[in-house]
Amino acid sequence: MSTATKDSPQLWASEPGADPGQERIRARIAGLHCSLCTGTIEKALGRMEGVRTVAVSLTHEQALVDYDPALVGPEQILGTLRDIGYELYDPRKLRPFEEEEAALVREGLRLLAAVTASLTAIGLIAAVTGVLSVLVPATVVVLMIPLSYTLLRPAGRSRALAGAAAVVAPGVAALVLRATGVLVEPVISLAAGALALAAVLVIGPHILRMAYQSARRGILNQHVLLEVGAFAGIAGGLIGLTGLLPDYPTAEFFAVTVLIMNYHIFSEWLSLLVKTRSSQSVRKLLDLQPDLARLVTDDETESEVPVEEVDLGALVRVWPGERIPLDGRIRSGMSAVDVSLVTGEPVPADVSPGDDVVGGSVNGTGTLLVEVTATGAEGFLAQVTRHVEDARALKPGILHLVDKVLRIYTPTILTISAVALVGWLLGSWALTGEPDVRRAVFAALSVLVMGYPCAVGIAAPLAIVRGAGTAADNGIVMRTGEAFQTFRQVRTVVLDKTGTLTEGKPAVAATETVTGTADDLLALAAAAEQHSEHPLGRAIVAAATLTGISSSPAQGFESVTGSGVRAVIDGAIVLAGSPTFLAGEGVDLSTLVHRIEQFETAGNTVIVIARDGRPAGVIALADRLRPDAVAAVASMRAAGLKPVLVTGDNEHAARRVAEQTGINDIRAGVRPEGKAAIIRELQAEGARVAMVGDGINDAPALMQADVGIAAGAGTDIAVESADIVLLRQDVAGVMEARRISDSSYRRTRNNVALAFAFNGIGVPLATTGLIYPVWAMVAMAASVTAIFLNSIGTRPALLFDAIRSVKARRANHEDN
């Protein structure tokens, strides 16, 4: 992987491409707001000679670009990214959450400036002539003033109130000065013109830059349409300032530009708010790897050094309870290591000299000396990190409904405007012998102004805010666009076993006694294990406690790491552990061999108990099925979904769960990257795939799936990798989330229809040359109001809760 120098930081990382002869660069991009940004980047880079594929991850602010190095270089590719208005940062580093939150604050301040400009512009032109004339100022005040207060609230209640008042004050002042005759034409029009230029050049210059760079590349996106509408308003105002056309709405044209910019900046901020609420999964994953390693030198001295400074072959000491810092091989020591991040299974793996261990896994009760076999960049966690990033960036992207419409809508509006201009010039000249320049210009500009669908930018984000609120009421967190737009199309659901269909922890499943009753056996085992720290031992003690069985105190307790325990109970020596351990202690297991094999074949972990060298019985432990798992899988089948069981556990354990739940398609013994490969295989068959999992080992698959769902008490990385998080301890939430997804998509579709409905009516009317720009403002206000009511309805608090949730997350992050 490429490295950076101190003097000239390199803003990309290189690696081999997907096909021979190709290279891939990984670039981190700041300033991504929504799918419009990702679409623009993919189009701009995709049209460069030598660029083969482009994949942009909005969540991780990352672009993966495969290219032919003989035709194009990384510098040219990144130069294009800068040209179209995006900033780059070091791809080897994660963008701190503080920076993301700061970006949201900057957009919030930009929004406050735009709201202030809009209220001032409205104050310059407002005249109460009826209900419709009140709609524009009322909409802006009712929506934007509470929003302004909420944005400023972290600074304190009094400052927030003062700030909200400052936002309103210029508009009120303009209204009063006009009413008292202090402000008159042409000062009113000049002031409105200054506001329009400020909105375009000062408040939203980044939009102008992006629109220019998109237009020069032939990309007609929403930025282009916005600037066309904004400059049409400015052009209309400038024509009015010349005084050539009498009774001309000069200030109104300028005011429309301000309002267009305001609503677009609002939609940008809203999209960024939705995006910022999704935390960074890669940072969570890397947090698992310790920052320091305890390095053992040749003279047996130990020193803590950063993991980046540990070389291959070095020896590191790992004490009980610590995370293993790097991938390695055990040189000395025995322990039980929690490797759930690799296998997802709850039972620790017994390790001894010669066994391999994975960085990030948790050491159990023994002290280990580990020889490093892979550095941080090549270790297991780093590989999973890359799988997570690549899966998110390379997964089949969803083309949002708005993007589909804008592909056709933008050139259509530009064409209608041109036709209106030429049509009125030629038509009036043909009919009267003199071209009607006033009407032709008015028609062309009015089409461009009326044509910008200002409400379309808030259509999807507001639907997401509403859907997220409904989901939260049901114990579900809907985090991404895939959760809201794609889940309804899913036909295959891949289910992880441990922690998803099962409870994710061992429990006593069955017993077999040689002498005495099952309760006697459990009491003896619990007595021996009462001081054990091993999960299996704790499960036996918990089972005895749950059933009210009391056990005798233990003396002379000894834990044999990775094998079992030895203790003296009521004067008898009691052994509890694996069959191998007891056989090695000379216990004759011939009478239990058949039963042990049966238990193990069924996917259970077996603990044998012996008293004074004679077997007392066998306890089988297994990961129990969740109570609702069978019903949840049945409901998936009833809805036409195909369930697939994928697990890192063995075939026996997987088949036992599959038989209980009625799943026919089973994939067992699968590593993390293998799960993602299975998802890709299913997707290659044309299926939309959802993945339900809860562990670190599920993260790449959760990212790769069209919809990733973290179930139950999932690990941080699983939760952060998922599109949907089920907070409830059940699997039934999967189908509830699908219902909410379907409902949210319908609401988004309705919002888009509402956004374009006003334009669909207004644009044809604008071609007559009789529609004043104030009607464009009315259409904007009406469409925004309709979408807000359709999305939020009687629950406006959902929007403000979303804003506060980001602030709260920042506070929690700072506390940690």
631 closest CA partner among 738, 730, 505: 730
Cβ-contact 647, 693 below 8 angstroms: no
Phi, psi of 779 (to 5 degrees): -65, -40
Active site residue 801: no
Q: Which of 669, 727, 718 is nearest to 691 (CA)?
A: 718
Q: Are 335 and 353 in contact (CB under 8 A)?
A: no
Q: How open is the CA angle 227-231-234, to the nearest 5 degrees?
A: 150
Q: How far apart are CA 523 and CA 795, in angstroms?
A: 56
Per-position DSSP letters for 594-616, written without gaps between them: HHHHHHHHTT-EEEEEEETTEEE
Handedness of CA 813, 340, 311, 352 (dihedral sign): positive
Contact 195, 226 (CB under 8 A): no
**DSSP, residue by residue, 565-583:** EEEEETTEEEEEE-HHHHH
Residue 362 is given by DSSP the state B
Give the integer Cα–Cα distance in Å for 375 and 394: 26
Separation of alpha carbons 195 and 214, rounded Å? 25
How is 535-566 classified by DSSP, letter by letter?
Answer: HHHHHHHHHHHHTT-----EEEEEEETTTEEE
Q: How many Cβ atoms sit within 10 Å of the Cβ of residue 608?
A: 26
Q: Whole-angstrom Cα distance, residue 462 to residue 269? A: 12
Give the integer Cα–Cα distance in Å for 760 and 559: 77
Write phi, then psi, for 646 (nearest 5 degrees): -130, 130
Helix/strand number for the chain, H first, E second? 28, 26
Catalytic residue among 66, 390, 496, 649: 496
**Cis status of the peptide bond prior to 186, with omega within 30 of 0:** yes
Distance CA(677)–CA(393), nearest Å, equals 15
Number of Cβ atoms within 10 Å of the Cβ of 335 = 25
- List phi, psi (to 5°) of 562: 80, 0
* Residue 656 CB coordination number (10 Å): 20
**Within its chain, how far is the Cα of 713 from the centroid?**
18
Q: What is the dihedral of CA 146, 150, 155, 160, to 10 degrees?
A: 10
Backbone angles phi and psi of 759, in degrees to 5: -70, -40
Residues in the chain: 816
Where in the sequence numbering do the catalytic residues fall? 496
